[in-house]
Amino acid sequence: MDSVDFDALEDAARAKMPPASFAFCAAGADDEISMSENIAAWRARRLRPRVLRDLTVTDTRVTLLGKEHPSPILIAPTGRHKLFHPQGERETARGAAAANVGYVMASNANMLIEDVAAERRAAPQWFQLYYWPNRAEVEALIDRLAAAGFTALVLTVDAPTPGWSPRAARSQHQPSPDILNINMPGSPMARTAYHPDFAGKVMYPATWRELEWLARRSPIPVLVKGVLRADDAVRCAECGAQAIIVSNHGGRHLDTTVTTAAAIGEVASALAGKAEVYVDGGIRRGTDILKALALGARAVLIGRPIIWGLTVDGATGVTTVLDHLRTELVRAMQLTGTASLKEATGDLLAPN
């Protein structure tokens, strides 16, 4: 597989997917403005290279939640991977492990937590949580995750109710007993949230009270995903979150939000010394990753390109996407005179 051009990779994945699977993967909310602007915002930032630096070694290592990672790249949580590959999230985890990249498994995965954990090898695995109304069910799940060796819990807070995607709504997946959200209460069939039955329903009613409880109760660190404001980020840290993921859900729920490239700097400045900061949304190149780091992110999360690689070539496709992005990051670092990630500072970017 040639993943050099992610546009071509997306086209190859689309050719292999059922139309409803592609619609679910590709869709953005409403007019898909935030989805497209996420990508454009990273591309619009301009680098200011340094010259005549010692680049004998280019070091991409980073420490996340106290553990060293070989690069600042993680797999973002995306759901229902059996829509893209018969082995679902197990195959994604296998690809992540081969690249030694952290994988954030989604609540609405189609494979059992324990089966995904079996593919871990040396790569860390985290779990993305939607907070369900029944606290006892949440408690049972987080204890099960800790027992399976997951090392962080990522609470998604920007989707208490589903958004709306006309594209996905026009191309509905039919529920199948072979494709279940198997780790969620009742193991429901994997109907997507872009269905009239879910419109307007508050499905994941987490508040500050639930975050405080979760941070106390969880035996593993808690992160919060879906923050775009500095004041919310600071309060998350005060409630016990050890890291914040700046995200607008890939533009999938609320259209016309600020881009993550626009939000990351404000959040990172406000959280300095309080919590780690990561970012997702529209990252497609190694230069995008370097820009995110220069703006204050400690790591980035990659979503849709992982699905494309999974669809085209399974675990090998996932690994290829991750290796390609790391290769591009190294090249961007070398061409900007950045020998290590600690040198990826704000002066690498031209003012907006």
Cite the active site residues.
Answer: 249
Task: Output the DSSP codes for 259-325.
Answer: PHHHHHHHHHHHHTTT-EEEEESS--SHHHHHHHHHTT-SEEEE-HHHHHHHHHHHHHHHHHHHHHH
- Residue 198's SS3 state is helix
Distances (CA, A) of 187 to 21, 80, 142, 182, 195: 20, 12, 16, 4, 18
What SS3 class is residue 243?
strand
Q: Where are the beta strands (DSSP E) in 77-235?
A: 102-105, 125-129, 153-156, 222-227
∠ CA 122-125-131, rounded to 5°? 170
Q: How far apart are CA 18 and CA 190, in angstroms?
A: 15
Give me 22's structure tokens: 């592609």
Contact assessment for residue 292 and residue 333, using Cβ atoms and an 8 Å cutoff: no
